[in-house]
Structure 1
Amino acid sequence: MSVATEKNPAATNDGTYRVIVLDDLAEEGLAKLDAAPNIQYDIRTKLAGEELRQALSEYDGAVCRSGVKITAESLEGNTQLKAIVRAGVGTDNIDKVAAARLGIVVMNTPAGNTVSTAEHTMALLLGLSRKLAPAHASLKAGAWDRKKFKGSQVFGKTLGVVGLGRIGQEVSARAAAFGMEVVGYDPFLSRERAEELGIRKVDTVDEMLPEIDYLTVHTPLTPETTNLISTEQVARIKKGARLINCARGGIYDEGALEEGLKSGQLGGVALDVYPDEPCTDSPLFAMDNVLCTPHLGASTEEAQIGVAVEAVDLLVNYLVTGEIQSAVNTTLDPNALKTVRPYADVAYRLGILLGQWHGGGLKNCELEFQGEIAEKDTRILVSAFCAGLIRNFTDEANIINAELLCRERGIELSRKESTAYGTFSSQITATVSGDGKTCSASGTVFGKDMPRLIRLGEYRTEAFMDGNLLVFHHQDVPGIIGYVGSVLSEENVNIAQMAVGRQGTEAGGSAIGVLNLDSGASEKALARVTEKDGIESAILLQLPEAGDLPDWLA
Structure 2
Amino acid sequence: MSERAKVLVKEPIADAGVDLLRERFEVEVGTDWDAGELAGRIADFDGILIRSVTKLDAGLIERAQRLRVIGRAGTGIDNVDVEAATKRGIVVANAPEANSIAAAEHTLALMLALCRNVPQAHGSLAGGAWERSSFKGAELYGKTLGVLGFGRIGQLVAQRAIGFDMSVVGYDKFVTAERFRELGVEGVESPEELYSRADFISLHLPKTPETVGIIDAAAIAAMRPGVRIVNCARGELIDLDALGDGLEGGRVAGAALDVFPEEPFTSHPILRRSDVVATPHLGASTEEAQDRAGIVTAEQVTAALSGGVVTTAVNIAAVRPEVMEALAPFVPLCEKLGALAQGLGDGAVGRVEVEFRGRLADADTRILGIAVLAGILKGHTEEAVNLVNAPHLAEQRGIELTETRESSSEDFTELVVVRVHSGDGAVEVAGTGAGPRNAPHLVRVWGDDFFLPFADHLAIFRYADQPGMIGRVGTIFGEEGVNIVSAAVGAETEGDTAVITLTTDNPVNQSTIDRILELDGFAVGRAVSI
Inter-partner Cα distance in structure 2 for 1:140 and 1:238: 34
Q: Residues 422-448 of structure 1: CA distance to partner in whole angstroms, max 9, x if unpaired?
A: 321110000110221211111011212
* Equivalent of residue 498 in structure 2, options 487, 511, 520: 511
* Equivalent of residue 364 in structure 1, options 330, 334, 351: 351
Name the residue aligned to 2:520. Answer: 533
Moved more, 350-359 or 108-117: 108-117
Q: Does 1:96 align with 2:82?
A: yes
* Superposition deviation, residue 19 in structure 1: 1.3
Q: Does 1:177 align with 2:163?
A: yes
Q: Residues 450-473 of structure 1: CA distance to partner in whole angstroms, max 9, x if unpaired?
A: 222111232222223213322112
* Superposition deviation, residue 415 in structure 1: 0.5
Instruction: Tell me, yes or no, if the aligned pair for 1:26 and 1:304 is still in contact at 8 Å.
Output: yes
Name the residue aligned to 1:318. Answer: 304
Q: Does 1:113 align with 2:102?
A: no
Report the residue type matching 1:471 in the other structure: I
Moved more, 157-166 or 61-70: 61-70
* Equivalent of residue 142 in structure 2, options 152, 156, 159: 156
SS in 1 for 2:348: coil
Report the residue type matching 1:91 in the other structure: I
Inter-partner Cα distance in structure 1 for 2:56 and 2:248: 40
Name the residue aligned to 2:15. Answer: 27
Report the residue type matching 2:204 in the other structure: H
Moved more, 251-260 or 153-162: 251-260
Q: Given the superposition, is the C-alpha separation of residues 511 and 192 from structure 1 closer, same or farther in structure 2, using an over 3 Å criterion?
A: farther
* Equivalent of residue 438 in structure 1, options 396, 410, 426: 426
SS in 1 for 2:303: helix
Name the residue aligned to 1:8. Answer: none
Inter-partner Cα distance in structure 2 for 1:353 and 1:445: 16
Q: Does 1:408 align with 2:399?
A: no
Name the residue aligned to 1:15. Answer: 3
| Aligned positions of 1:140-155 closer than 5 A | 140-155=126-141
Instruction: Tell me, yes or no, if the aligned pair for 2:158 and 2:168 is still in contact at 8 Å.
Output: yes
Q: Given the superposition, is the C-alpha separation of residues 520 and 175 from structure 1 closer, same or farther in structure 2, using an over 3 Å criterion?
A: same
SS in 1 for 2:201: strand
Name the residue aligned to 2:489. Answer: 500
Report the residue type matching 2:398 in the other structure: G
Name the residue aligned to 2:31. Answer: 45
Inter-partner Cα distance in structure 2 for 1:86 and 1:140: 41
Name the residue aligned to 2:187. Answer: 201
Inter-partner Cα distance in structure 1 for 2:128 and 2:281: 29
Instruction: Tell me, yes or no, if the aligned pair for 2:314 and 2:387 is still in contact at 8 Å.
Output: no
* Equivalent of residue 123 in structure 1, options 101, 109, 124: 109
Name the residue aligned to 2:380. Answer: 393
Q: Residues 344-390 of structure 1: CA distance to partner in whole angstroms, max 9, x if unpaired?
A: 12111101101111144011001000001222221111121111111
Structure 2 gap segments, 5+ residues each? none
Q: Residues 186-222 of structure 1: CA distance to partner in whole angstroms, max 9, x if unpaired?
A: 2211122222222232344344223322222223333
Name the residue aligned to 1:461. Answer: 450
Instruction: Tell me, yes or no, if the aligned pair for 1:48 and 1:68 is still in contact at 8 Å.
Output: no
Inter-partner Cα distance in structure 1 for 2:238 and 2:396: 25
Q: Given the superposition, is the C-alpha separation of residues 198 and 290 from structure 1 closer, same or farther in structure 2, using an over 3 Å criterion?
A: same
SS in 1 for 2:214: coil
Moved more, 121-130 or 415-424: 415-424
SS in 2 for 1:368: strand
Instruction: Tell me, yes or no, if the aligned pair for 1:190 and 1:435 is still in contact at 8 Å.
Output: no
Equivalent residues, number: 527
SS in 2 for 1:184: strand
Report the residue type matching 2:236 in the other structure: G
TM-score (norm. length: structure 2): 0.92
Report the residue type matching 1:26 in the other structure: A
* Superposition deviation, residue 14 in structure 1: 4.3
Instruction: Tell me, yes or no, if the aligned pair for 2:346 and 2:422 is still in contact at 8 Å.
Output: no
Q: Does 1:219 align with 2:219?
A: no
SS in 2 for 1:329: coil
SS in 1 for 2:525: strand
Q: Residues 401-421 of structure 1: CA distance to partner in whole angstroms, max 9, x if unpaired?
A: 112211111100111122223
Moved more, 512-521 or 174-183: 512-521
* Equivalent of residue 61 in structure 1, options 39, 42, 47: 47
Moved more, 20-29 or 332-341: 332-341
Q: Given the superposition, is the C-alpha separation of residues 497 and 329 from structure 1 closer, same or farther in structure 2, using an over 3 Å criterion?
A: same
Name the residue aligned to 1:290. Answer: 276
Q: Residues 481-534 of structure 1: CA distance to partner in whole angstroms, max 9, x if unpaired?
A: 343334334434343333222332x4x434322222344433333223222333
Instruction: Tell me, yes or no, if the aligned pair for 1:442 and 1:456 is still in contact at 8 Å.
Output: yes
Q: Given the superposition, is the C-alpha separation of residues 514 and 424 from structure 1 closer, same or farther in structure 2, using an over 3 Å criterion?
A: same
Moved more, 275-284 or 413-422: 275-284
Name the residue aligned to 2:511. Answer: 524
Inter-partner Cα distance in structure 2 for 1:250 and 1:104: 32
Two-structure CA RMSD over aligned residues (Å) = 2.4
Q: Does 1:542 align with 2:529?
A: yes
Inter-partner Cα distance in structure 2 for 1:230 and 1:81: 46
Moved more, 271-280 or 182-191: 271-280
Q: Given the superposition, is the C-alpha separation of residues 114 and 522 from structure 1 closer, same or farther in structure 2, using an over 3 Å criterion?
A: closer
Q: Does 1:229 align with 2:209?
A: no
Q: Given the superposition, is the C-alpha separation of residues 72 and 47 from structure 1 closer, same or farther in structure 2, using an over 3 Å criterion?
A: farther
Q: Given the superposition, is the C-alpha separation of residues 517 and 249 from structure 1 closer, same or farther in structure 2, using an over 3 Å criterion?
A: closer
Instruction: Tell me, yes or no, if the aligned pair for 1:89 and 1:108 is still in contact at 8 Å.
Output: yes
Q: Does 1:249 align with 2:238?
A: no
Moved more, 99-108 or 437-446: 99-108
* Equivalent of residue 373 in structure 1, options 360, 366, 384: 360
Instruction: Tell me, yes or no, if the aligned pair for 1:53 and 1:76 is still in contact at 8 Å.
Output: no
What fraction of aligned residue pairs are identical, expressed as a percent? 37
Report the residue type matching 2:324 in the other structure: L
SS in 2 for 1:299: coil
Instruction: Tell me, yes or no, if the aligned pair for 1:53 and 1:75 is still in contact at 8 Å.
Output: no
SS in 2 for 1:80: coil
Instruction: Tell me, yes or no, if the aligned pair for 1:209 and 1:237 is still in contact at 8 Å.
Output: yes
SS in 2 for 1:405: helix
* Superposition deviation, residue 261 in structure 1: 3.0
Report the residue type matching 2:443 in the other structure: I
SS in 2 for 1:328: coil
Inter-partner Cα distance in structure 2 for 1:352 and 1:210: 30
Inter-partner Cα distance in structure 2 for 1:119 and 1:451: 44
Inter-partner Cα distance in structure 2 for 1:370 and 1:509: 29
Q: Residues 171-194 of structure 1: CA distance to partner in whole angstroms, max 9, x if unpaired?
A: 011112222222222221112222
SS in 1 for 2:349: coil
SS in 1 for 2:398: coil
Inter-partner Cα distance in structure 2 for 1:274 and 1:325: 31
SS in 2 for 1:339: helix
Q: Does 1:427 align with 2:402?
A: no
Inter-partner Cα distance in structure 2 for 1:59 and 1:287: 51
SS in 2 for 1:317: helix
Instruction: Tell me, yes or no, if the aligned pair for 1:46 and 1:68 is still in contact at 8 Å.
Output: no
* Equivalent of residue 254 in structure 2, options 255, 259, 268: 268
Instruction: Tell me, yes or no, if the aligned pair for 2:45 and 2:64 is still in contact at 8 Å.
Output: no
